[in-house]
Amino acid sequence: MRKCCFWAIIFSVVQGCANQTPKTVNEVLNEASKNKNVNVGNLHYTFQLPQGWLRLDTAIQGLKVTLISQPDTTGNLNPLMNVTTELMQNQNAEDYVLHVKNQMKKSTGPVEMINDGYITLSGYKVLWFTYKYNRPGSAVAREMVYYSIPVNGISYNITAGVNAGGMVNYKTVFDKIVESFKLSK
């Protein structure tokens, strides 16, 4: 049985992993939270958030996640970020992110990859990629950016998204939030 890429769950997974019977969001979240490779590392980290943005550290069906949002004052863009952690299982950053992309294409439905790159953060190479996604059964298309911050064999996975048309305004905001990421002691 293939394991699901847990970080995509918050936004999208309603049909389960590739080659499996469709599952509810609760079933997928429950399965993901039992994965020994998630909820790992230093779960104490900080960000510098723009004024008005909110942070919530919580668990959803046992999956520890940080949700970051901003009340959308510019229309119906609904900007939202989430942070989860996963062991990279001895993969380098490039191989890990390639695995994430491949799993996403198999398990979350139609995904259109747009662009990719990296930023340097406290000596770490943070890989990112942008993509468009329309969850099956939803009329709302999302423009997304995924970041992997690799620290000591653990990826701090940050996924951010807005409704279609919003990435042009929010990518720099998401980048600045990610660039302010710091692990606490």
Report pLDDT for 32: 65
Query: Which residues are registered as beta bridge partners of 182?
Result: 46
Quick one: pLDDT at residue 27? 66
Which amino acid appears at position 165 of this protein?
A: G
Q: How far apart are CA 40 and CA 89, in angstroms?
A: 12
For residue 118, being part of any structural domain is answered with yes
Please report the pLDDT score of residue 11 as a whole number.
Answer: 37
84 assigned to some structural domain: yes
Integer Cα distance of 11 and 14 in angstroms:
9
pTM of the entire predicted model: 0.81
* Six-digit token string for 36: 């020994």
- Distance, CA of 70 to CA of 97 (rounded, Å): 27
- Domain membership of residue 1 (yes or no) is no
Which residues of the chain register pLDDT less than 70?
A: 1-35, 39, 72-74, 107-109, 135-138
CATH number assigned to the domain comprising residue 28: 3.40.1000.10
pLDDT at 122: 77
Q: What is the model's pLDDT at position 117? A: 94
Q: Does residue 58 fall inside a structural domain?
A: yes
Note whether residue 97 is domain-resident.
yes
Q: Which structural domain range is residue 80 located in?
A: 6-183
Only one residue has tokens 């692990």, namely 183
Q: Is 149 inside any structural domain?
A: yes
Question: Residue 111 to residues 7, 24, 141: CA-CA distances in angstroms?
Answer: 15, 20, 10
Burial of 145 (0-12, 13-18, 19+ CB in 10 A): buried
Report the number of distinct structural domains present in the chain: 1
Residues 6+ apart with CB under 8 A from 41: 85, 151, 152, 154, 156
Domain membership flag for residue 78: yes
End-to-end CA distance of the chain: 37
- Asked if residue 162 is part of any domain, the answer here is yes
